[in-house]
């Protein structure tokens, strides 16, 4: 597609519920990133894929967070047993190269609200 | 480890006035530097980037930024603010040996007064 597509746009989850957030990167983009943006703050790195390989997951806040990109294109971020502190906008970005020198294209994000 | 500091979480200018948004970074290797803009309920849109070459970088919507290695700065400027420039602006840095991930500053909200 022309841009990075994320779904759903908004998600309200009850505390303790599992959620899955989807990211469709730009076709052919090698690198894919997930970021978490709390209200009024800058995005914070969660995890990074190069094709299907998850090369860095150091930003995942707990073992309740899990991400995958099995075929090197679409990625899913899963959060198990959601907590109120998980409420944030989750942003996905992709890049056509491994070095990032062409920049990164961001999706519109998924706003997760845990009640 | 890389880090980004944006001085001033809120900046207010009058329409037609100079816009200056400050960004300082720390990086152990020559970085790639970016400015992104975020409008309400939207994702991040790339304004401009510095990777190599000319240190004065021109971006979209009349914005430009200058990479000053000696000052570890990458301030964003625009000669004349427009009402449509009101948004949140994020400076970010990436390093090739850090998995190419972007590290963002805390953001600066630009308000433009008529």
Nearest CA among B27, B23, B12, B11 for reference residue B74: B23
B49 vs A103, A106, A109: nearest CB: A103
Q: How confident is the model at residue B65 (pLDDT cuts 50, 70, 90)?
A: very high
Strands (E), chain B: 3-5, 10-14, 19-21, 24-26, 32-38, 44-50, 56-58, 64-68, 73-78, 87-94, 102-104, 108-113
pLDDT band at A89 (very low <50, low <70, confident <90, very high): very high
Taking any CB pair shorter than 8 Å as contact, residues of chain B touching chain A are 4, 32, 34, 36, 41-46, 49, 51-52, 90, 92, 94, 96, 99-107
Mean pLDDT of chain A: 93
> pLDDT at residue B1 above 80?
no
Q: CA dist B53 to B30, B41, B56, B66, B88, Å?
A: 12, 34, 9, 11, 27
Assess whether pLDDT exceeds 80 at residue B112. Answer: yes
The answer to whether the CB atoms of B96 and A99 lie below 8 A apart is yes
- Interface contact flag, A100 B105, Cβ < 8 Å: no
- The reported pLDDT for the residue numbered A24 is 97
């Amino acid at each position: 597609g022309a841009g990075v597509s994320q779904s759903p746009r908004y998600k309200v989850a009850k505390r303790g519920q599992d959620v899955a957030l989807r990211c469709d990167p730009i076709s052919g983009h090698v690198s894919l990133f997930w970021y978490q943006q709390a209200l009024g703050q800058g995005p914070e790195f969660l995890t990074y894929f190069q094709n299907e390989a998850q090369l860095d997951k150091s930003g995942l806040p707990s073992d309740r967070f899990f991400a995958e990109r099995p075929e090197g294109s679409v990625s899913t971020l899963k959060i198990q047993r959601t907590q109120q502190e998980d409420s944030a906008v989750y942003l996905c970005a992709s890049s056509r190269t491994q070095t990032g020198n062409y920049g990164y294209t961001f999706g519109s994000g998924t706003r997760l609200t845990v009640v | 480890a890389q880090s980004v500091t944006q001085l001033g979480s809120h900046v207010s200018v009058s329409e037609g006035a100079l816009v200056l948004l400050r960004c300082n970074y720390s990086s152990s290797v020559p970085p790639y530097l970016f400015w992104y803009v975020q409008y309400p309920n939207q994702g991040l849109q790339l304004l401009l980037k510095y990777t190599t070459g000319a240190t004065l970088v021109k971006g979209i919507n009349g914005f430009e930024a200058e990479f000053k290695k000696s000052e570890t700065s990458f301030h964003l400027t625009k000669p004349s603010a427009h009402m449509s420039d009101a948004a949140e602006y994020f400076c970010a840095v990436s390093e090739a040996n850090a998995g190419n991930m972007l590290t963002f500053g805390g953001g600066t909200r630009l308000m433009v007064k008529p």
